[in-house]
Structure 1
Amino acid sequence: MTNLQRLEMEVKDISLSQQEMSVYLQESDLTPHSEYQPENKKLVLQSALSVLESIANQPSQMKNYTTEDISISAFSDNIQSRIDQLERKIRQMKSTEEDTSFFMLFRP
């Protein structure tokens, strides 16, 4: 599985070209057609977050749709909820970089 395929798994049912998805991966420092490594999951999720945020910035997508028997409403609420979930998940994931921005004030 490539990084591009892994990103497509994360943002199912969102129709973007592979070129557009590749740009999001490259912005997260991933090569789209290289083999997916589990340690890159955080970067893939950051790419997925970027995709969702760019869709959320399109006002034409934020209206309610109704057809004969199906109603699609609250799109903006649902996408914002998914964005919040992804942000929370990314924050909770272990960082591959060591955090050296703290020091111990008291010693046990």
Structure 2
Amino acid sequence: MNNLERLKLEIQQSGFTDSELSIFLEESNLSPTVTYDTSSNESKRAILQTALSCLEAIANNPNYFKNMKIDDMTVSSFAESITNRIDQLERKLRSMTINQSETGSSTFMLFNR
């Protein structure tokens, strides 16, 4: 599975084309055609950051916030749902460790000379 396919799993049916998603990935310093590394915390963090950027782009589109009802979902439900998902991704990104040593422990430098 490449990075583009992994991003599509994260933001299913978002309405973005492959070229648009590729731009989002490249902005996160990921190549769309490179194989996704499941063991890398940095790759997972970059994919989640890219998904967050995609959802924020969707949230910036005022056409999704018109007064309309689709099936059993109202527009206000859509607005709440996307805001909740953005908040969830932001919390998840903040809680992920940035750097891990080979032993798996997290390091944080509070003071630097």
TM-score range, shorter chain: 0.7 to 0.9
Q: How does 1:42-81 map to 2 (within 5 A)?
A: 42-67=45-70, 70-73=71-74, 74=76, 75-81=78-84
Query: How far apart are residue 71 of structure 1 and its match?
Result: 2.4
| Unmatched segments (≥5 aa) in structure 1 | 104-108
Q: Which residue pairs with 2:104 in the alignment?
A: none
Q: Which residue pairs with 1:41 in the alignment?
A: 44
Report the structure number with the largest CA radius of gyration.
Answer: 1
1:53-93 CA-partner distances (Å, limit 9, x unpaired): 000001111135335xx222221111000000000001111
- CA–CA distance in 2 between the matches of 1:87 and 1:15? 22
* Count of residue pairs brought into register by the alignment: 101
1:6-26 CA-partner distances (Å, limit 9, x unpaired): 000000121110000000000
Q: Which residue pairs with 1:87 in the alignment?
A: 90
The one-letter amino acid paired with 1:56 is: A
Give me the TM-score of the superposition, normalised by structure 2. 0.81
Q: Decide whether the 8 Å contact of 1:64 with 1:72 is kept in 2.
A: no
**Alpha carbon RMSD of aligned pairs, Å?**
1.8
Give me the TM-score of the superposition, normalised by structure 1. 0.85
